[in-house]
Amino acid sequence: MFGYYFQLGMRSLRRNPVLTALMVIAIGFGVAASMITWSVFRVVSGNPIPQKSGRLFTVLIDNRGPQYNDDGEPPEALTYTDANAMIRAHKAPHQTLFYPISLAVLPDGNRSLPLKAIGYATTADFFGMFDVPFEYGSAWSAQDDTRRAGVVVLSHQFNEQLFGGADSVGREVDLSGHIYRVVGVTRHFDPKPRYFDLFGGSAFDDPMQVYIPFNRADDLQINTAGRNTCGGAPDTGVGTGREGWLRGECSWIPVWVQLDTPAQVADYRAFLEGYAAKQQRAGRFRWPPNVRLRDVTDWLAFEHVVPPESRISLVVSIGFFVICLVNTIGLLLAKFMRRSAEIGVRRALGAPRGEIYRQFLIEAGTVGAAGGVLGVLLTAVGVGGVGLLFAPRIARLAQVDLPLMALTLLVAVVATVVAAFYPTWRAAKVQPAWQLKSN
């Protein structure tokens, strides 16, 4: 029967090409608008590390106090003093800290101009905690951290640029006038959003190219290439220059810990409270401990990582799709009721209501499928042109893939069939006797 109803449906759709085209276009545009904005939204609102987002925590300590903090919240990163104290204390199974750096690869045989290299100064634990995949070699060791070694991990893309993609482990690179030995090359590593560096506002920025030990960068006095926030508290008597700044209360180093069990989380929280209490006793903080331990999802929500534009456009697009569906309901109603006589004949000849339902829902399904196909085409075109609608760094997140295309088709068909329930119900209610009666 399905095949027969499908044929009937096609015939009926051909009978009013304008009405049919109108429905198909409405569904196509509606579903495409929703899918284009969804293709961006699913990335910006996604969980970038689902397998351990509940076990990674960023550590925040209020060093500004109730008068100067941000509505009771500690700054979004730690000071040099606190960050180093957290790493030295080593109270979590894994802990890391980092800050963005911008270095230069000096000219050599192939290049006449220096090449910029952006990256992080961090610790060995960074790579394991954030699941950085390796193509060659591995992360540096904890000993390299303590030896303050001149070692470097390159990104796949940067290794391509410097060494033509060859296994460069053991080779040397001159970064801003200092020699580093390559210990590892990562595979493509570009979590979106880059949850661990929300403080720097680089959730959707280009992937990093080099990673060097924090202690090494500290020895070389490499400045942060990222954000530095000092708050509004008076900061007197710490002196000038780098030393004064490091001793001062400016926040610029994100710290992350990995805590695998609730007990570890509780212990770490207690340690953190204790640390802040000790600072209070020492007279550095003149307020009771105010600390936070936020996991990845908590942190993403707290930092409002989803751009408002993405949320607004998704809501408006879905609203648009709903209107297109309401429109379709109306048109299907008109179309089905026009065939009351036909329905009457079928019912009089013994077709139960269920058959009428089946026939008209299949017909609606064909409209939905046609709309879905148009929607897939429009989505593909629209995602290509999404650069017009969002900032480039957001727009490039939009990808047309098989799941998105399948979803487009599915949503179109399901939504249309659901929308067709009311008109079909009306059609099934047609009284055979009424229709057969001659006027």
Partner 1 sequence: MDIKPILAALRHHKGGTALIALQIALTLAIVCNALFIIQQRLDRVGRPSGVQESDLFVIQNDWAQKLAPAEADARMRADLQTLRQLGSVQDASASNSFPLHGAGWDNFVRMSPDQVKMTTDSAIFFADEHTLATLGTRLAAGRNFRADEIGSQTGNDPLHARQVIISDGLARTLFPHGSALGKTIYTSNDQSPSTVIGITGTLQSHLTELWAQPYAYNAVLVPARLTGDSTFYLVRARPGQLVDAMRQAQDALYAQSRMRIIPADGGVMTFAQARQRAYDADYGMAILMGIISAVLLVITAAGIVGLTSFWVGQRRKQIGVRRALGARQRDILGYFLTENLLITLGGLLLGVVLAVALNLWLVIRLGSQPMSPLYLAGGVLLLLLLGQGAVLAPALKASRVPPVEATRSV
Site for partner 1 in 348-387 (CB under 8 A): none
Identify which of 195, 124, 113 has the alpha carbon closest to the alpha carbon of residue 153: 124
In this complex, which beta carbon is closest to partner 1, that of residue 45 or of residue 327?
A: 327
Strand partners, 291: 61
Q: Give the number of C-alpha atoms closer than 13 A to the C-alpha of residue 99, restricted to the C-beta side.
A: 24
- CA-wise closest residue to 51 among 139, 137, 133, 123: 133
Least Å from the CB of residue 439 to partner 1: 5
Q: Per rule CB under 8 A, is residue 389 in the interface with partner 1?
A: yes
Residue 429 binds to partner 1 (criterion: CB under 8 A): no
Angle at 242 between CA 239 and CA 247, to 5 degrees: 60
Among 338, 384, 401, 406, binds partner 1 (CB under 8 A): 338
Q: How far is the CB of 22 from partner 1 (least distance, A)?
A: 5
Q: How many CB atoms sit inside 10 A of residue 433's CB?
A: 9
Of the listed pieces 50-58, 218-226, 295-303, 348-356, which binds partner 1 according to CB under 8 A? 218-226
Give me 204's structure tokens.
């959707």
**Residue 428 interacts with partner 1 (CB under 8 A): yes or no:** no
Q: Which helix (DSSP H) or strand (DSSP E) does residue 248 occupy? A: none
The only residue of 81, 223, 264, 280 in contact with partner 1, by rule CB under 8 A: 223
Bridge partners of residue 178, in order along the sequence: 175
**Residue 197 phi, psi (nearest 5):** -115, 40
Rounded Cα–Cα distance for residues 258 and 96 (Å): 9
Residue 313 lies near partner 1 (rule: CB under 8 A): yes
Q: Is 221 in the site for partner 1 (CB under 8 A)?
A: yes
Nearer to partner 1, 45 or 176 (CB): 176
Would you say 336 and 423 are in contact if contact means Cβ atoms under 8 Å apart? yes
| Candidate ranges 109-117, 182-190, 289-297, 354-362; the one touching partner 1 (CB under 8 A) | 109-117
Q: Which is nearer to partner 1, 395 or 405 (CB)?
A: 395
Q: Does 311 bind partner 1 (CB under 8 A)?
A: yes
**Cβ of residue 391: shortest distance to partner 1, in angstroms?**
5
- Between residues 116 and 278, which has the closer beta carbon with respect to partner 1? 116
For 62, the token pair is 């209020």
Give least dist CB 394 to partner 1, A: 8
DSSP 26-45: HHHHHHHHHHHHHHHHHHHT
Is the CB of 134 or the CB of 421 nearer to partner 1?
421
Size of the site for partner 1 (CB under 8 A): 72
- Minimal distance in Å, beta carbon 249 to partner 1? 9
Is 326 a binding residue for partner 1 by CB under 8 A? The answer is yes
Contact window for partner 1 (CB under 8 A) among 23-31, 78-86, 162-170, 262-270 = 23-31
Among 10, 89, 233, 351, indicate the residue that binds partner 1 (CB under 8 A).
233
What is the distance between the terminal CA atoms of the chain, rounded to a whole angstrom? 33
Q: In the window 124-143, what residues touch partner 1 (CB under 8 A)?
A: none
DSSP 148-165: T--EEEE-HHHHHHHHTT
DSSP state of 229: B
